[in-house]
């Protein structure tokens, strides 16, 4: 009895912590209004009748004060359509928690994570439930660059067979260069459409006595990661997607001449005092959140800033996107036949405890409504072709969404795919050493050594 | 808000229930014991034997809950950690001592050991030293109590909280922009260029140690202050009459008498230092050569999910804490014994 009572109490405490999310709540956009794909929602609801009262637990990366509010508004439509009761939970170190819950045998039905590398690890331990051929077929056809996304969600099962486990939901776009249209107009610069033009433009800026770039790698314990995005974008523009994949899997060694070439290309910008605001020494120590501010200072400290779609959150207050600040696609070489590669990141949803409701939810994520509801709010880019781009909350999101849909090659952030010891360890610190003066060979060897040390 | 209230309420109920349960356990088990091996009033025989049995059983009965929880939460994890440290990353195959051999050859491990040794030398000595000096000097000042309260206050702050505070002290903005970090504001105020303090190897470790010294000095001060009060006044008076000056009294009269306490304080802080994790995790995550064993263990365990290596590092930490701990307990027992 005592035990029961204690269990009851601790359970009620736990639910109070974890389930402060989805409960019966009003739908944020009234059904039938706007450019939303309401028909698709109706179809989905019609196909999932008789599930009232079932419950579904979801564990994901979006926390209170971050994107949890938006995700909960999406869940409300799922609950409304199916009558399923959804419990959403997250925590500061949700990645570790997801892994630990799975290892302990008490995972959520659905686990959503932004690191395919971590999911691959979980798949190899048998924590994930295969989604089946139909779902794989669906993702490959319904999403832009669908095949890239299928391979992103395909991992080896415990027996080493490649199996489809995860569907994409919510993307971030990294291949962006931010600039001030006013500054460009004043100096007479044009937005470059090829990488050749971009390199010519930066030389022009230097010749004019201007500084082309603001680069800041500082990010507390994660210092160095912005440089890994640079490396990845340049990698996709100088070598084939196959080479990129081989790099991620370490079939192409980190100290391969191809990688060193890319690193030196990055070095030709970041390690050149004339190319970066504050000189090369400032690159490693400037905080990535502070770095874009140089675009807006008078006179401009720099003219361009390479960063993902989230960065406007750190622009000065009152900056109007499209007017005071805008972006262009980080262009590809005209002279190389590598198409329009896009570097991105995003979250992937998997089933960690199978149920009818879990299957329904995975299907729901492929329904345009699940994307549009969030697109209409903020910070959500969709690769789903059926999702109506008219629903994007603003022009900036819409423009980014279009870049994503036009991509011929979509590649996921390599550092998130590499083993954590490299992708969230030696790659970061190696890039800090590199801009700090170490040679590309030295750094590449160090990173490869740390990779060899993993088993 | 209702969530918070619900949590507080839940916690209060849990505490009350646990307390009642504990009282009920001791009362009921004691009653059962008396009942089973009670002194039979009607016959009067065997009562001495029953008394002896009760005397033997009762301590075990009362210690049972503590022993149970210690086994579940302490002994079992230790055994399990040692076992995992002999297995591979997924805890499937037996690899013998491979994880330890890997550790010895690993750069990160070596650097962590080196840094831990630096922490071990610097933090306990400076914390104890400052604590002792403040304890002695504060007693002579009218505002000594206020000073002592202020020095003690950081003790109440969690390590992560302290790290956040010190992040603002060490914060760096590039030259030319306004410095929001206290240290850089001072440095630029003196006309020198700002420094990214936590990225300067060797020095950055010391900057991190300052945080722990800031926290632990209060602890050392309070314990040593109490010990100083315990010094018999006659010994100090005798020294003064013999013409010893304050410095001489401090080193030759006070220190020898509280030496035992100093050692206990020192070793206690040493154990804290060996386990130091939060500060590194929150400030640098081991970057710029500031890695320590506890953070390295966390990384291998919960970032790289290599349970074998993570456990091996955990075992190394445990083995290095163990002798100090045993010695500390013996020492503390001996102290008790002399009183």
- Which has the minimum average pLDDT: A110-114, A219-223, A266-270, A283-287? A219-223
> By the CB < 8 Å criterion, does A290 face chain B?
yes
> By the CB < 8 Å criterion, does A13 face chain B?
yes
Q: Is the pLDDT of residue A2 over 80?
A: no
Instruction: Tell me the C-alpha distance between B175 and B164, whole Å.
Output: 23
What is the SS3 string spanning A370-381?
HHHHHHCCCCCE
The candidate with the shortest Cα–Cα distance to A385, out of A400, A399, A404, is: A404
H or E segment and range at residue B212: helix B203-229
Q: Is A37 a domain residue?
A: yes
The candidate with the shortest Cα–Cα distance to B304, out of B115, B117, B108, B160, is: B108
φ/ψ of residue A341, rounded to 5: -75, 145
Q: What is the pLDDT of residue A80?
A: 92
> By the CB < 8 Å criterion, does A421 face chain B?
yes
The pair of three-digit structure tokens given for residue B248, joined into one six-digit string? 């001489």
Q: Is A7 a domain residue?
A: no
Chain length of chain A? 455
Chain A residues with CB-CB distance to B281 below 8 A: 221
Q: Is the pLDDT of residue B102 over 70?
A: yes
Closest-CA residue in chain A for B90?
Answer: A125
B157-190 pLDDT per residue, tens: 999 999 989 988 988 877 777 788 899 899 998 9
Q: Is A16 a domain residue?
A: no
Q: What is the pLDDT of residue A266?
A: 97
> By the CB < 8 Å criterion, does B303 face chain A?
yes
Instruction: Tell me the C-alpha distance between B166 and B238, whole Å.
Output: 46
Shared-domain flag, residues A114 and A258: no
User: Residue A454 and residue B306: Cβ atoms within 8 Å?
Assistant: yes
Shared-domain flag, residues A123 and A138: yes
Q: Is the pLDDT of residue A369 over 70?
A: yes
Size of interface A-B (CB pairs under 8 A): 89
| Residues 32-91 of chain B whose Cβ lies under 8 A from any Cβ of chain A | 88-90
φ/ψ of residue A449, rounded to 5: -60, -40
Q: What is the pLDDT of residue B196?
A: 80
User: Residue B7 and residue A223: Cβ atoms within 8 Å?
Assistant: no
- Is pLDDT larger for residue B43 or for residue B88? B88
Shared-domain flag, residues A300 and A385: no
The residues near B331 (Cβ < 8 Å, ≥ 6 apart) are: B260, B263, B264, B267
Residue A223 has its nearest CB partner, among B287, B304, B305, at B287
| Domain boundaries along the sequence of chain B | 2-85, 101-338
| B285 min Cα distance to partner chain A (Å) | 5
H or E segment and range at residue B237: helix B233-241
Residue A285 has its nearest CB partner, among B11, B174, B282, at B174
Q: Is A399 a domain residue?
A: yes
B32-80 pLDDT per residue, tens: 888 887 765 555 556 777 888 888 888 888 888 889 999 999 999 999 9
User: Residue A455 and residue B88: Cβ atoms within 8 Å?
Assistant: yes
B6-27 pLDDT per residue, tens: 889 999 999 999 999 989 998 9
> By the CB < 8 Å criterion, does B17 face chain A?
yes
> By the CB < 8 Å criterion, does B27 face chain A?
no
Residue A285 has its nearest CB partner, among B196, B281, B287, at B196
Closest-CA residue in chain A for B288?
Answer: A429
User: Residue B102 and residue A453: Cβ atoms within 8 Å?
Assistant: yes
Q: Is A72 a domain residue?
A: yes
Q: Is A433 a domain residue?
A: yes
Count the domains in chain A.
Answer: 2
User: Residue A454 and residue B286: Cβ atoms within 8 Å?
Assistant: no
User: Residue B172 and residue A454: Cβ atoms within 8 Å?
Assistant: no
Q: Rounded to the nearest 5 degrees, what angle is found at the Cα of A119, between the Cα atoms of A110 and A379?
A: 70
User: CATH number of the domain that A141 lies in?
Assistant: 3.40.190.10
Model-level ipTM above the cut of 0.85: no
Q: Is A83 a domain residue?
A: yes
> By the CB < 8 Å criterion, does B177 face chain A?
yes
| Residues 56-95 of chain A whose Cβ lies under 8 A from any Cβ of chain B | 93
Closest-CA residue in chain B for A224?
Answer: B287
CATH, domain range B101-338 = 1.10.3720.10
> By the CB < 8 Å criterion, does A5 face chain B?
yes
B222-255 pLDDT per residue, tens: 999 999 988 998 998 999 999 888 889 889 889 9
- Which has the minimum average pLDDT: A244-248, A292-296, B168-172? B168-172
Q: Rounded to the nearest 5 degrees, what angle is found at the Cα of A330, between the Cα atoms of A328 and A336?
A: 135
Chain B residues with CB-CB distance to A454 below 8 A: 304, 306
Chain B residues with CB-CB distance to A221 below 8 A: 281-287
Q: Is A130 a domain residue?
A: yes
User: Residue B14 and residue A9: Cβ atoms within 8 Å?
Assistant: yes
Q: What is the pLDDT of residue A194?
A: 94
Shared-domain flag, residues A190 and A313: yes
Q: What is the pLDDT of residue B172?
A: 81
Q: Is the pLDDT of residue B289 over 70?
A: yes
Domain holding A115, by residue range, is 30-173+344-412
User: Residue B304 and residue A12: Cβ atoms within 8 Å?
Assistant: no
Q: What is the pLDDT of residue A38?
A: 94
User: Residue A282 and residue B284: Cβ atoms within 8 Å?
Assistant: no
The pair of three-digit structure tokens given for residue B80, joined into one six-digit string? 């399990």
Shared-domain flag, residues A407 and A424: no
Residue with tokens 């971009």: A198
- Is pLDDT larger for residue A22 or for residue A130? A130
H or E segment and range at residue B65: helix B47-70
| B197 min Cα distance to partner chain A (Å) | 10
The residues near A41 (Cβ < 8 Å, ≥ 6 apart) are: A31, A77, A81, A367, A369
Shared-domain flag, residues A442 and A392: no
Residue A286 has its nearest CB partner, among B10, B174, B283, at B174
Q: Is the pLDDT of residue B336 over 70?
A: no
> By the CB < 8 Å criterion, does B304 face chain A?
yes
> By the CB < 8 Å criterion, does B160 face chain A?
no
Shared-domain flag, residues A374 and A232: no
The candidate with the shortest Cα–Cα distance to A330, out of A232, A247, A204, A219, is: A232
> By the CB < 8 Å criterion, does B329 face chain A?
no
A73-131 pLDDT per residue, tens: 999 999 999 999 999 999 877 888 898 899 889 999 999 998 888 898 889 889 999 99
A149-192 pLDDT per residue, tens: 898 899 999 998 999 999 999 988 999 999 999 999 999 999 99
Do the bridges between strand A162-164 and strand A154-156 make them parallel or antiparallel, or are there none, so unpaired? Answer: antiparallel
Q: Is the pLDDT of residue A8 over 50?
A: no
């Amino acid at each position: 009895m005592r035990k029961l009572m204690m269990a009851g109490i601790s359970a009620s405490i736990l639910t109070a912590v974890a389930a402060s999310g989805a409960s019966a709540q009003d739908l944020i956009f009234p059904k039938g209004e706007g450019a939303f794909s309401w028909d698709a929602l109706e179809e989905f609801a019609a196909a999932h009748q008789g599930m009232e009262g079932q419950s579904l637990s979801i564990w994901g990366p979006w926390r209170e004060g971050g994107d949890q509010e938006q995700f909960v508004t999406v869940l409300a439509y799922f609950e409304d359509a199916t009558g399923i009761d959804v419990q959403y939970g997250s925590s500061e170190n949700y990645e570790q928690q997801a892994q630990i819950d799975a290892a302990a045998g008490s995972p959520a039905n659905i686990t959503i994570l932004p690191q395919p590398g971590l999911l691959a690890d979980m798949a190899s331990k048998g924590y994930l439930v295969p989604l089946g051929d139909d779902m794989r077929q669906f993702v490959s056809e319904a999403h832009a660059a669908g095949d890239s996304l299928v391979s992103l969600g395909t991992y080896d099962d415990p027996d080493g067979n490649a199996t489809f486990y995860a569907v994409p939901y919510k993307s971030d776009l990294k291949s962006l260069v931010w600039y001030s249209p006013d500054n460009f107009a004043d100096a007479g610069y044009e937005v470059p459409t090829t990488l050749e033009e971009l390199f010519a433009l930066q030389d022009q800026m230097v010749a004019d006595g201007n500084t082309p770039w603001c680069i800041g790698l500082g990010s507390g314990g994660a210092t160095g990661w912005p440089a890994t995005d640079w490396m990845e974008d340049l990698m996709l523009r100088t070598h084939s997607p196959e080479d990129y994949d081989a790099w991620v899997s370490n079939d192409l060694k980190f100290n391969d001449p191809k990688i060193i070439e890319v690193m030196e290309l990055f070095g030709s910008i970041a390690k050149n005092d004339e190319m970066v605001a504050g000189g090369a020494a400032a690159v490693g120590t400037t905080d990535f959140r502070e770095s874009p501010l140089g675009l807006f200072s008078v006179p401009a400290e720099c003219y361009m800033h390479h960063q993902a779609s989230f960065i406007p959150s750190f622009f000065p207050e009152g900056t109007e996107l499209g007017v005071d600040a805008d972006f262009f696609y980080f262009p590809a070489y005209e002279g190389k036949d590598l198409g329009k590669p896009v570097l991105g990141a995003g979250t992937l949803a998997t089933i960690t405890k199978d149920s009818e409701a879990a299957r329904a939810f995975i299907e729901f994520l492929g329904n345009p409504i699940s994307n549009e509801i969030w697109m209409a709010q903020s910070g959500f880019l969709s690769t789903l072709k059926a999702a109506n781009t008219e629903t994007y909350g603003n022009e900036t999101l819409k423009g980014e969404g279009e870049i994503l849909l036009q991509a011929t090659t979509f590649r996921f952030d390599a550092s998130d795919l590499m083993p954590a010891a490299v992708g969230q360890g030696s790659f970061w610190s190696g890039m800090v050493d590199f801009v700090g003066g170490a040679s590309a060979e030295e750094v590449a060897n160090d990173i490869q050594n740390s990779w060899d040390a993993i088993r | 808000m209702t969530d918070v209230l619900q949590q507080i309420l839940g916690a209060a109920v849990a505490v009350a229930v646990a307390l009642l349960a504990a009282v009920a356990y001791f009362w009921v088990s004691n009653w059962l014991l008396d009942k089973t091996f009670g002194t039979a009033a009607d016959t009067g025989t065997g009562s001495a034997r029953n008394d002896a049995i009760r005397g033997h059983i009762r301590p075990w009965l009362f210690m049972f809950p503590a022993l149970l929880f210690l086994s579940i939460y302490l002994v079992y994890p230790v055994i399990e950690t040692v076992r995992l440290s002999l297995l591979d990353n997924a805890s499937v195959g037996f690899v013998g001592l491979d994880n330890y051999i890997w550790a010895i050859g690993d750069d990160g491990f070596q650097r962590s050991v080196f840094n831990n040794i630096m922490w071990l030398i610097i933090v306990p000595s400076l914390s104890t030293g400052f604590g002792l000096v403040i304890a002695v000097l504060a007693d002579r000042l009218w505002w000594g109590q206020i000073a002592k309260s202020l020095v003690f206050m950081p003790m109440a702050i969690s390590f992560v909280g302290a790290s956040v505070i010190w992040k603002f002290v060490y914060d760096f903005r590039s030259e030319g922009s306004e410095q929001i970090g206290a240290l850089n504001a001072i440095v630029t105020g003196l006309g020198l260029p700002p420094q990214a303090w936590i990225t300067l190897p060797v020095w950055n470790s010391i900057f991190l140690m300052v945080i722990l010294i800031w926290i632990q000095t209060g602890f050392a001060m309070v314990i040593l202050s109490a010990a100083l009060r315990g010094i018999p006044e006659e010994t100090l008076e005798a020294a003064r009459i013999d013409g010893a000056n304050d410095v001489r009294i401090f080193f030759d009269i006070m220190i020898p008498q509280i030496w035992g306490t100093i050692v206990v304080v020192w070793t206690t802080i040493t154990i804290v230092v060996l386990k130091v994790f939060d500060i590194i995790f929150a400030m640098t995550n081991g970057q710029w050569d500031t890695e320590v064993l506890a953070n390295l263990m966390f990384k291998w365990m919960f970032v790289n999910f290599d349970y074998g290596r993570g456990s091996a590092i955990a075992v190394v930490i445990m083995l290095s804490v163990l002798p100090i701990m045993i010695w500390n307990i013996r020492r503390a027992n001996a102290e008790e014994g002399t009183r």
